[in-house]
Amino acid sequence: MGIHGYSGWRVFREGLRDQAGWKRAWRSPEPKSRYDVVIIGGGGHGLATAYYLAKTYGIRNIAVLEKGWLGGGNTGRNTTVIRSNYYYRESAALYDHSMKLYEGLSRELNYNVMFSQRGVIALAHSRHDLDAVQRWVGAMRINGVDTDILSREEIARRVPILDMSPEARYPVLGGFVQKRAGTARHDAVAWGYARAADMLGVDIIQQCEVTGFRRHPNGVIAGVETSRGFIGAKKVAMAVAGHSTVLADIAGFRLPVTSYALQAFVTEPLKPVLDTVVLSLATGVYLSQSDKGGLVIGGSLDLYPSYAQRGNIPTVRNVLGAVAQQYPSLGRVRFLRQWAGIVDVVADSSPILGATPIPGLLINCGWGTGGFKAIPAGGTMLAHHLATGEPHALARPFSLERFSTGALIDEAAASGIAH
Ligand SMILES: Cc1cc2nc3c(=O)[nH]c(=O)nc-3n(C[C@H](O)[C@H](O)[C@H](O)COP(=O)(O)OP(=O)(O)OC[C@H]3O[C@@H](n4cnc5c(N)ncnc54)[C@H](O)[C@@H]3O)c2cc1C
C-alpha cells in the first residue's frame, strides 16, 4: 500500500461495497494566520514544490494558495508532451532530471499519472531542417540524452497517416526520435501531487487569490494579502506561470516575461491511428492520440500578448490547415474542443528559478509552452531552495541574475522550437 492506500485490492474491495470507503482526495482547510512557507499557485509546479518540501525536507507547515481551482491554469490545459530533447547542457540536465522523476512518479505518489513513453518524433521538411536535426541530435548525445536519427522510410513506417507523397505540401526528409519521451495525464499530475502533499499535512487552499505582499521593515517578506485576509509566512514562493508579471508588478519588481495565449485542440475519438507523438519543425504543429481516442493537437503561440484564454482565429486556421495538409486522412475529422492557456515566455526560452529582488520571495516561472514536462524538476528545485536557502546546482544557471550577467541559455535559437 502506498501513502494513500490506493491498490488493486482497494479497488476490488470498494467495488463490493458501493464505493463507500473512499475518502476525499484532499482536505479543504481554512487558512491559518501563519505558515513557514506559502506557495502561490496551485498548478503542477506549486503543488510539486509543496510535496517535495514536505517529503524531502520535512517542512510541513505549508500552504498552497490557488485563486481558482487546482490545475485550472496551464497544468490542466496543456497537451501533455514530456521530453528532454534540449540543446544546451544546462537545459538537458534539468529536463532529463524531470523525465527521470516522471518515470517513477506513479509509484512515488501512489497515483497513476499515466506516463506513456511512446516516443516523440520531430520531422525535418527541408535540407536546413536536416542540418538542424544533425546538430540537435549531436548535442543531445553529448548531453547523455537518448535519441536516434530517423530516415524518411522509418518515419513512413512509424507514422502511416503522414502524407509522404512526392507532391506533399510539407515533404518529410527525415527526423529524429526520443524514445523515452511521451505523454502523461495532465490533471492526474496535479491531483497526484495535491493528494500526496495533503497527506503530508500541506494546506491546499482554493479560491484564495493573492492580491499583495507585506514586508518587514528590513525588507524581508512577511506574508501575503489575499482575498481571504492576510497570511503570514517566513518564506513565500510563487509559481503562477502566465500571471508571473502581474504578481511581480504587485511585489515591485520587473520580470523579462511576456504573456501569450497558447492554444490546443482535441478531435472526436477515433480508433487508434497514432502510437507516438509527432512534431513538425516547419509548422510547429504536433499531435498525439489520447487514451480516449481523441487527437490532441497543439501549435505555435498566438501572435500578440494577451490574457484572453480563448485564443485567436489566425492561429486556429494555421494549425488546422497544417494538420489537414500533413495528415490528409484527418481532413474530415470533427473537432470537439479548442481552448488556450496563458504562458510565460522569456526571451531566451528558458525558465527563471530562484531568488527575486525581495528577500524571502522565490520564483518559478518562464516555462512558457513547455513546463508540464518540467513539473517534477520545478518542484524539486524550488523545494531545495526554500529549504536550504541556496539554489540547487541544476537550477543555478536559470537564475533571474542571468539577465544582468548576460549568461542566457537561448534554447529558442539553439533548437529551433520555443520550449
Ligand atoms: C495549450 C497549452 C499546451 C501546452 N503543452 C505543453 C506540453 O505539451 N508539454 C509541456 O511540457 N508543457 C506544455 N504547456 C506548458 C505547461 O502547461 C506549463 O508550462 C505548466 O503547466 C506550468 O505549470 P505551473 O504550475 O507553473 O502553472 P499553472 O498550471 O498555470 O498554475 C499556476 C496557477 O497559479 C494560479 N494563480 C495565478 N495568479 C494567482 C494569484 N494571484 N493568487 C493565487 N493563485 C494564482 C493560477 O490560477 C494557476 O492555477 C502547454 C501550455 C498550454 C497553455
* Residue 367 Cβ contacting ligand 1 at under 6 Å: yes
Q: Quote the DSSP letter at residue 292.
A: T
Burial class (CB in 10 A: 0-12, 13-18, 19+), 47: buried
**Band of the pLDDT at 61, cuts 50, 70, 90?**
very high
> Which residue has the CA at smallest separation from atom 48 of ligand 1?
73
Residue 3 pLDDT more than 70?
Answer: no
Cα-based torsion angle of the residue sequence 408, 300, 376, 76 in order, rounded to the nearest 10 degrees: 140
Q: Quote the DSSP letter at residue 116.
A: B
- Of 45, 49, 66, 74, best ligand 1 pocket probe by most atoms within 8 Å of the beta carbon: 74
pLDDT tens sequence across 238-281 = 999 999 999 999 999 999 999 999 999 999 999 999 999 999 99
pLDDT tens sequence across 285-327 = 999 999 999 999 999 999 999 999 989 999 999 999 999 999 9
What pLDDT score was predicted for residue 166? 86
Mean pLDDT for the chain overall: 95
Percent of the chain at pLDDT > 90 equals 95
> Which residue has the CA at smallest separation from atom 13 of ligand 1?
370
Cβ partners under 8 Å of residue 237, min gap 6 = 37, 38, 39, 40, 46, 49, 361, 362, 363, 364, 382, 386
Grid coordinates of 359: 528577500
Average pLDDT over residues 341-358: 96
Grid coordinates of 70: 487546482
User: Helix H segments across 244-398?
Assistant: 244-251, 313-326, 375-388
* Residue 83 Cβ contacting ligand 1 at under 6 Å: no
Average pLDDT over residues 127-142: 95
